[in-house]
Amino acid sequence: MSVFKDEDPRIHGIKTKIRVVPNFPKPGIMFQDITTLLLDPKAFKDTIDLFVERYKGKNISVVAGIEARGFIFGPPIALAIGAKFVPLRKPRKLPGDVIFEEYTLEYGRDRLEMHVGAVELERVGAEVVECACVIELPDLQGRVRLNGKPLYVLVEYH
């Protein structure tokens, strides 16, 4: 499908399947629950298809997925485009030597780890083609932390 993303009817269908849960996991947070999206096979497939259509044929060798949502969407996208999948894990979940990066959540701070050598890093020549996510929360300004890397988002919540 070569429709501009904002005009693609699949986007609306995906957004309607994401349940917003107020005051979870703590008061004042509006949590975007993707489990309701996963319960709808068409919406789940549309989500994967939109990413695959964007990245297929772009010679991407690695898809990295952030725990836990990235573990749901990343592997089928990686398989469909012929790339390997690298999980970015929460602290102390990987054995052996790891590298890590800290980040801010809508309700606190955390960090992600991956095995040393799992992928070639930017500082030694790897190219980050684009960052992608199903949901963006622009108020958290996560985009700013991407150091100018492009970001592809299906759904925004303000």
- Pair 86, 118: CB distance under 8 Å: yes
Residue 109 catalytic?
no
The sign of the torsion formed by the CA atoms of 102, 104, 108, 114 equals negative
Contact 63, 84 (CB under 8 A): yes
Exactly one of 54, 69, 113, 120 is catalytic; which is it?
A: 69
Tell me how long the chain is.
158
69 is catalytic: yes
DSSP string, 137-155: -GGG-GGGGGTT--EEEEE
CA distance 104 to 63: 22
- Among candidate residues 53, 54, 67, 106, the one labeled active-site is 106
Which residues carry out catalysis?
A: 69, 106
